Structure 1
């Protein structure tokens, strides 16, 4: 099993544009519409991009949560940790739990489990992108790839007054290139 953030084992690099995100988002919306969901749970930070797109396109309520291995954009925990909890308002609803990527699958599974514990009637998971090793796989996925996926929001980050590729992504590309040589 490949661990989250184990970038060396990705095969290739895929930069996604905002236009591709919109297209993948539409594909995700079409899949979720068939699930007859009544509300969306978005996982902050980056999962709020597709969650907001889905909630707006399907005209549904959005319930944001924050579950992450990160603090201040640095990986600090080996497993996802709750930072902002899920609200009890999800009780009795058919939900889609949405994130930008299913890497290990742990975050989506953790949030879905909490939604069920709070009384959600039906819970599906969804991601714009999923890797083949994510366990469990999301119910709905717009793109399945084992490439290193670099989302538009990581392509240009402001550091010390300069726009640049997210340092974690730059390091991941470098590590992948070293492993291939």
Structure 2
């Protein structure tokens, strides 16, 4: 099993636009719909994006769960730690666990097992992306690639009064001899907040 945070062996990058994201989730909706899930458990944080959109597209209930290897956006654990568990509402229902990336399959497996332990009638898993070595861990996958995926929602951070390329992505690009240039940022219409407190 590969280390999901070892970027030294990755070759190539795959920037995902918001349009790409929407298209991938629509593809998952088409794939999942015949099974008729009744509850979606998106895994936070990254799985909240596809899970919530999928719940809207399929018009089913969504109950976010959270388990993570990170603290303050920094990887500090080898295995995920539960922060928010599935609700009792999963009992007797078809449950779809949705995450952003399948790197090891551990997170998907933990949530699926917990849903089944709570009495889910059946539990399946879906991810936006999976590495080639992890495709068997998810029932539905939007995109299979070993490239470095650059998500539209976490590519930039706001620090010291300005937006910056996410340091983890910048370091991963550096492993490939690439720089985090402006072309990799998300094009967005500039707005000023309509209201703010002083």
Aligned to 1:147: 147
Written as runs of structure 1 = structure 2, the 5 A alignment for 1:52-63 is 52-63=52-63
Aligned to 1:93: 93
Q: In 2, are the aligned partners of 1:154 and 1:169 still within 8 Å (CA)?
A: no
Aligned to 2:41: 41
Aligned residues: 178
SS at 2:56 equivalent: helix
Distance (Å, rounded) in 2 between the aligned partners of 1:79 and 1:157: 25
CA deviation profile, 1:117-175 (whole Å, cap 9, x unmatched): 11101111000111112274210001000101010012222122211211001001101
Q: In 2, are the aligned partners of 1:42 and 1:64 still within 8 Å (CA)?
A: yes
Q: In 1, are the aligned partners of 2:135 and 2:144 still within 8 Å (CA)?
A: no
Q: In 2, are the aligned partners of 1:10 and 1:147 still within 8 Å (CA)?
A: yes
How far apart are residue 94 of structure 1 and its match?
0.3
Of the structure 1 ranges 130-139 and 59-68, higher mean CA displacement relative to structure 2 is found in 130-139
CA RMSD of aligned residues (A): 1.3
Instruction: Give unpaired runs (5+ residues) of structure 2.
Output: 179-198
SS at 2:92 equivalent: coil
Aligned to 1:27: 27
| Runs of 4+ with >6 A deviation | none
Structure possessing the higher radius of gyration over alpha carbons:
2
Higher RCO, 1 vs 2 (CA within 8 Å, ≥6 residues apart): 1
TM-score by length of 2: 0.86
Q: In 1, are the aligned partners of 2:157 and 2:164 still within 8 Å (CA)?
A: yes
Instruction: Give unpaired runs (5+ residues) of structure 1.
Output: none
TM-score by length of 1: 0.94
